[in-house]
Structure 1
Amino acid sequence: MGLVQALFLLFLAYSKYCHGDELAKKVDPTSLFQDLAAQQKILQDKVLSGDVSRRSTEATINRLVNENAQLKASVNLLEEEASQRIHKEMDDLKGRVAALEARVSECARDDKTKITCTPPFSEVQGHCLHVNSAVKGSWEEMRVHCKTMGADLVVIKSADFLWYLIKYLKESGLDTNDYWVGAYRQTGWKTFYWIDGTPVKTGTPFWGYLNFDTQEPYDHSQQLHICMYRKGLYFLWSADVNHFQSPICEIN
């Protein structure tokens, strides 16, 4: 039984009970049925409207929840990308700072090695040198010669300095002589010393070779001084006291 039919029957029963058959006779069943149908439709529309509204609200909530999750995921992705970018930029900046610091240190070292030398002395890697190829003599005589100029025989403690000195000799056209340097040993000593009292380093890259398997200094009682030997590519060689060679003088 439908809702309208039930309401109609209730109405008839109510009318008969309360007003009698005459009141019931005056009621038009068709009109009453139509009214009840209209009321039923209104009620159904309200129910449907409420159900649609509820579903619409649920759909909106679900959409907002999904959008919120997507937004959080996007924010997390952006934060991760930003963090990676920041770390990369920081690493790049650290690398640039390190490079700049190295450059500053290099420039500072260059400034220290660049000195002003008064002629006839020339600057060679921070040393004031005078290579006098016009004179020759024994080691002792050439040391006296340097001292008359306010200098002494050159001291070579760095392989880097030795390289620059050889380069200077070649570029200046002075690679035609052997040259005394400021190193010696006493008779019976095996160790050579620089004139400032420090021992001369042995082996490569300072000393030349007598042959393929024997490296200077040669252990001979008469070889008491050191020279840069032209035929030995200007590496260090021990020399007899009677040799005549040119001096390389250095202002200390």
Structure 2
Amino acid sequence: MRPGWYPDPSGRYPLRWFDGTLWTPQALDGWQRPVVDPLPAVGEAATLPPGSTPTPPGASSTPTPPGASSTPASSPASSTPASPGAGPASVDAAPPVLPVVAVPAGAGNTGPPATGTPPGTVAPVDQGRWLFWLTWRMLLLVVALGLLFIGFVVLPWGHILRLGMPPITVHYFDFVDWVDATNVQASGWQRAYAQGVGLLHAFVAFVATATTIAVSRPGRHAPWAGLLQVLLFASLIAVHFGTPHADIEDVHPGGAGLAVFAGIFALFLACPGFETKPKPASPAR
């Protein structure tokens, strides 16, 4: 029996490639898609005795009477890959799909050449697409880091206004001391945020976003990426109520709170979100 597509002797798939010596792991499913399905090396389905010719699947094993001529199962010009229960397909007919051949070393498979990406592996990401995907996220990380530094170090956290006193410009690390000294009514969250919670929150958000970008690729985001993006969105609310942008009597907000808010928002944009995959098209029948 020459190499060709024949009904799968294991019955698991409609067609399996026979290379003239062995049944290979190369098979086609009902939609003519390539499948790699190794077979146990048992009986005639795996090996052939020296000098013997295998019986094609579905053909009778009764020898041909002397003088009778055997008619080929199908002609090369009109044969197509066999369907389950049909006779062997012609070896000259081109297979509908060139599947990936996965044969152990030394098996001597002479099947069609492998094309495409082997099953179970991920196709390589286009280099240009990956560079663009990474570049704009890295730029957003740099912008976020700069905004957070400006908010916590450079710009004033607020201006305390008291009757009979000029406005007192206060930075992040001095805000709580001035609030206590001037008896300004600030909420517990605003006091905690100005006592280090805000700085720690920004640091954790930056490191988590940078790590998520580092382990993600276009179409293959980190498993926690979507959850992190939701937490970053919630962090925007925490920043708003933790800075003097929330209503505090006798305190005029400085530009620091807005810079911190913008920095967290830049992290939110840079973070890969929930991975969405297009719905595969239905195969033609």
Shorter chain as denominator, the TM-score bin is: under 0.3
**Greater Cα radius of gyration, structure 1 or 2:** 1
- The TM-score with structure 2 as length reference comes to 0.24
More strand by share: 1
- The TM-score with structure 1 as length reference comes to 0.26
